[in-house]
Amino acid sequence: MNIIEIIEKKKNGFELTDKEINFFIGGCTTGKIANYQISALLMAICINGMTNTEIFSMTKHMASSGICLKWSGIDGIIADKHSSGGVGDKTTPIVVSVVTACGVKMVKMSGKGLGFTGGTIDKLSAITNFRTDYNTDEINNIVNNIGAYMGGQTHDLAPADKKLYCIRDVTGTVNSIPLIASSIMSKKIASGANILVLDVKAGGGAFMKNANEAQKLAELMVNIGNAAGIKTCAVVTDMSEPLGCAVGNALEIKEIIDILKGKSKDKRLYNICVILSAYILILSKKAADFDDAYHIAEKALKSGQAFRQFYNIVQAQGGDVRLLEDISLFPRAKFIGEIISEKNGYVQNIDCESIGKISLLSGAGRIRAEDVIDYSSGVVLHKKCGDSVLKGEVIAEYHTNRMECVDEIKSGIAGAYHIGKEKPENIPLVYKTIMK
């Protein structure tokens, strides 16, 4: 068996065997297969696709390419939640706080952001001294004490995926459903959770632009999760406009605090957090049905239980809890300005990807893995899709420390807003729920 034969086989549209996929993943992990050969096979997969048998095999071997966490030191079932990523997506800290306040235990391992979609670890790192790098024994203790942990993925968790993703990112092979599914689910399987809720985004601010394609990805990942013995469901949600009003790390943490304190300004963000929490409660058997689960999750938010749990998480992981009580203590950008509407009407559309890229330009994200993030920078949207606007009214504001980028940031935000005379139709928040 050799890699050239495997590349030729997939190039010609044939199904790879479990042994061939295992050989490929092993060679990726050890470095015995050259990057240009990995690239060739990835491109063949992008063009010809994979069968479900191949995808399940690839996911299994990627998951076992490093350590597989078991969490035997934690009593009870462990829940996990994953979002396929989007602009302003800050659901994880809210959902973790809600469901663990309701008695479900969660170990949530997330990645850093790269490109125009932000990472949960970057947002949490905007809280002074918040640690995301505890070892497994420490995580066991934290979860046993307060029921929750949010941290970064360890280097030895699905290392084959890290190698493959770095190559996919620079070879035009990111947007492949088999490769996306195996990448996400290999990490979820290796993370050791018993139940998993997937938030699969669809729209201009997500990797999957089309709701039908997002649904295919969601169904595939649910099948993989269930086959691996993880109770899995997926919710396909809209990402045609930024989720919430803030885009940028400290700005998003401030919005998270507002929601947890009952000061939500964005109904879509609030609703999706409650919906995702409800499905975790259902899979955890903390609720009889969706209506019951929604009520329980909403009660945790409105009663202040979820905020107190977030406070506990920040405190347990070394963060400065004073910021949760006084958001003025968060870092503040030097240059903050308003974007003014030039006409009356309704917000028809906000170019989600453009807002993400403007936030990146302001300093809130990274293009390369080694880039340093400015936690204070980003964009705050005062008007969302469907809102009425008057000429001269503030529609958004920018936050940056990059004076040389201010003009480009201003024109970019203004250009992302499309204002028309007629009020647009409401876009559904949830396209599909897959639970088997």
Domains (range + CATH), the chain:
3-49 (1.20.970.10), 78-325 (3.40.1030.10), 332-420 (3.90.1170.30)
Predicted confidence at residue 140, as pLDDT, reads 94
Among 122, 161, 258, 266, the active-site one is: 161
418 is catalytic: no
SS3 state of residue 137: helix
pTM of the model: 0.93
SS3 94: helix
Residue labelled with tokens 């004073």: 322
CB-based contact 86:241 (threshold 8 Å): no
pLDDT of residue 335: 98
Question: Can you give the pLDDT at residue 112?
Answer: 63
What was the pLDDT predicted at 410?
A: 98
Work out whether the CA dihedral 215, 216, 219, 224 comes out positive or negative: negative
Decide if 110 is catalytic. Answer: no
The catalytic position among 61, 90, 187, 286 is 187
**Full pLDDT tens readout for the chain, 436 residues:** 899 999 999 999 999 999 999 999 999 999 999 999 999 999 999 999 999 999 999 999 999 999 999 898 898 899 999 998 788 999 999 999 999 999 999 999 887 655 555 688 889 999 999 999 999 999 999 999 999 999 987 778 899 998 998 888 778 888 899 999 999 999 999 999 999 999 999 987 777 888 999 999 999 999 999 999 999 999 999 999 999 999 999 999 999 999 999 888 899 999 999 999 999 999 999 999 999 999 999 999 999 999 999 999 999 999 999 999 999 999 999 999 999 999 999 999 999 989 999 999 999 887 766 778 899 999 999 999 999 999 999 999 999 999 999 999 999 999 999 999 999 999 999 999 999 8
Q: Which of 81, 105, 123, 168 is catalytic?
A: 168
Task: Catalytic residue, from 10, 60, 82, 384: name it.
Answer: 82
- 183 catalytic residue (yes or no): yes
Categorise residue 115: left if φ over 0, alpha if ψ from -120 to 50, beta otherwise: left
3-state secondary structure of 174: coil
Query: Using alpha carbons only, what angle is made at residue 243 by residues 356 and 201, rounded to the nearest 5 degrees?
Result: 85
Residue 161 annotated as catalytic: yes
- Active-site residue flag, 155: no
Q: How far apart are CA 432 and CA 436, in angstroms?
A: 13
The catalytic position among 65, 83, 183, 354 is: 183
- Confidence at residue 14, expressed as pLDDT on a 0 to 100 scale: 97
Alpha helical stretches, state H, 14-146? 18-30, 35-48, 52-63, 91-101, 120-124, 136-146
Q: What is the pLDDT of residue 29?
A: 94
The per-residue pLDDT for 205 is: 75
Nearest to 345 by CA among 396, 386, 395, 389: 389
Starting from the edge strand earliest in sequence, which strands make up the sheet with 417-420, in order? 388-389, 345-350, 417-420
